[in-house]
Chain A
Amino acid sequence: MGKVIVVTSGKGGVGKTTSTAALGAALAQRNERVVVVDFDVGLRNLDLVMGAERRVVYDLINVIQGEAKLSQALIRDKRLETLFLLPASQTRDKDNLTPEGVERVITELKRVFDWVICDSPAGIESGATLAMRHADMAVVVTNPEVSSVRDSDRIIGLLDSKTMKAERGERMEKHLLLTRYDANRAERGDMLKVEDVLEILSIPLIGIIPESMDVLRASNIGAPVTLADARSAPAMAYFDAARRLAGEVLPITIPGEKRGIFGKIFARRAA
């Protein structure tokens, strides 16, 4: 049985879609079977970041409504043969995303893939709660600024109450992915410190992704950053985050700092 991950944030535009694609491609490069699922019905983006927008025939809603088989809607990546995309519908109403339908699709995907990564829409409405509903673990994407941190805190509360895991009385595994981290602004004190974000959210950190032009360049050519330029700083940070998701223990360094403060962060992680 594969693992289901939801990539979620509450606040919009913090890097969920970018992270879904980058982590999906990073895991697939380890020869694991990965599907990335777009839950952002009506505002789909994942197909663009994956460079598959011209290959979408059927989508998640078609599968839920019984208009297409799952195998017909899945799009295999042109570069990595273990990476697949299940796109969202751009035209259909998001009310077509039913709880029963989502459950059926996720159950089927888990049987075939090692990783099912769900790209959540922003907000706390039904799209976001359905995307997290069947997750085994969550990647909470947060930018180092107060509104994003507060929204992530709100989402963590929902992860602990509105998911199947929570309802069964189990603990949802949650990981913090700090994105768009700008070393220069951090230096000037214009951003929340990593330590403060960790203190507020108190969930383990799986990576710090630097703010970088490489991310924009990758999305312009329709490739996850971990495929477009595997040597770039954001790609390397995503590769490490993917390894941590898979259970490896690696020290974390803060971009721009010569010597990592990993001792400190590590201690927290273990706590």
Chain B
Amino acid sequence: MTKMLTDARSIRIKGRSFLAVVLAPDLPFDDWLVRLDDLAARSAGFFLGRPVVLDVSDLPIDRAQLKDLITELAGRNVNIMGIEGGRPSILGPGMPPALKGGRPVSDEAVAKEPIIELRNGEAKPAAPEVRTALQSMLIREPVRSGQSVIFPEGDVTIIGSVASGAEIIAGGSIHIYGTLRGRAMAGSLGNASARIFCRKLEAELLAIDGIYKMAEDMAPGLRGQSVQLWLEGDSIIAEKLI
């Protein structure tokens, strides 16, 4: 008998983006691991609970060496979620998956501690925690198809429209004094209180804190309206602005 799918509840699939710490080891690994231990001793828990990606581009290593390195890292509680730049021949079953298409972000974006460059010898000492003032970005012209505005540091305000095929990614809120036809992703580094405001909603995709809504999921009554959007729990709530 074939199993019937009678459960009315649908499976929830959500897109989310996380900020990963990228470790780019160099050879010989033994020396590099010494520097890593040194860093870990000075900023305890730096890697704890963080997604860590291993960047092995341009490293002349084989599968056994990579496996050893991953084991060494696991022994230090650094769990690798993915490998970037690895030739297919050195990857394989039992290894973290290959990752592609990562985008660099500014150093301040990596939460409180600044990211530490381990590649070029001497590790810089971890800077004392500084709370930088909230930043904002103002754009005075339409954002055209194919352009993307990425501002992890804070809010983005656009005086003009955002075209179909354009995208705005902000660490904070997004304010659009025009029509939003493209994509807007607010709170991109994990900020559930970020909001999206636009004068006319025709968006292809909206996201707040990694929770997405596609055009077809939006209530038809909101199309063409002046709206604000925010997050309540795991759902995006929209309300007309008069």
Q: Do A and B make up one complex? A: yes
Q: In the complex, A146→B163 CA distance in Å?
A: 12
A148-181 contact mask (Cβ, 8 Å, vs B): 1 or 0: 0011011011001000000000000000000000
Q: In the complex, A202→B181 CA distance in Å?
A: 14
**Whole-angstrom distance from the CB of A92 to the nearest CB of chain B?**
29
CB-defined contacts of A257 to chain B, threshold 8 Å = none
Stretch of B59-67, B92-100, B144-152, B183-191 with 4 or more beta carbons under 8 angstroms from chain A: B144-152
- List the B residue with the shortest CB-CB distance to A124: B146
Q: Is the interface of A mostly helix, strand, loop or mixed?
A: helix
B161 touches A156 (CB 8 A): no
B170-205 contact mask (Cβ, 8 Å, vs A): 1 or 0: 000000000101000000000000000000000000
CB-defined contacts of A200 to chain B, threshold 8 Å = 161, 163, 179, 181
How many chain B residues have a CB neighbour from A under 8 Å?
13
CB-defined contacts of B144 to chain A, threshold 8 Å = 153-154, 156-157, 160
CB-defined contacts of B163 to chain A, threshold 8 Å = 150, 153, 200
A window 178-215: CB within 8 A of B? 199-200, 202
Chain A to chain B contacts (Cβ below 8 Å), 29 pairs = A124-B146, A146-B164, A150-B145, A150-B163, A150-B164, A150-B165, A153-B144, A153-B145, A153-B146, A153-B163, A153-B164, A154-B144, A154-B146, A154-B165, A156-B144, A157-B144, A157-B145, A157-B146, A157-B147, A160-B141, A160-B144, A199-B161, A199-B179, A200-B163, A200-B179, A200-B181, A202-B142, A202-B160, A202-B161
CB-defined contacts of B160 to chain A, threshold 8 Å = 202
CB-defined contacts of B145 to chain A, threshold 8 Å = 150-151, 153-154, 157
CB-defined contacts of A154 to chain B, threshold 8 Å = 144-146, 165
A199-243 contact mask (Cβ, 8 Å, vs B): 1 or 0: 110100000000000000000000000000000000000000000
CB-defined contacts of A150 to chain B, threshold 8 Å = 145, 163-165
- List the B residue with the shortest CB-CB distance to A10: B145
- List the A residue with the shortest CB-CB distance to B163: A153
**Whole-angstrom distance from the CB of B139 to the nearest CB of chain A?**
12
- List the A residue with the shortest CB-CB distance to B144: A157
- List the B residue with the shortest CB-CB distance to A149: B164
Q: In the complex, A202→B144 CA distance in Å?
A: 10
**Whole-angstrom distance from the CB of B129 to the nearest CB of chain A?**
37
Query: Which 3 A-B pairs rank lowest in CB-CB distance, beginning with the nearest?
Result: A157-B144, A153-B145, A154-B145
- List the A residue with the shortest CB-CB distance to B178: A202
- List the B residue with the shortest CB-CB distance to A161: B147
CB-defined contacts of A153 to chain B, threshold 8 Å = 144-146, 163-165
Q: In the complex, A106→B181 CA distance in Å?
A: 37
**Whole-angstrom distance from the CB of B200 to the nearest CB of chain A?**
10
- List the A residue with the shortest CB-CB distance to B142: A202
B window 109-159: CB within 8 A of A? 141-142, 144-147
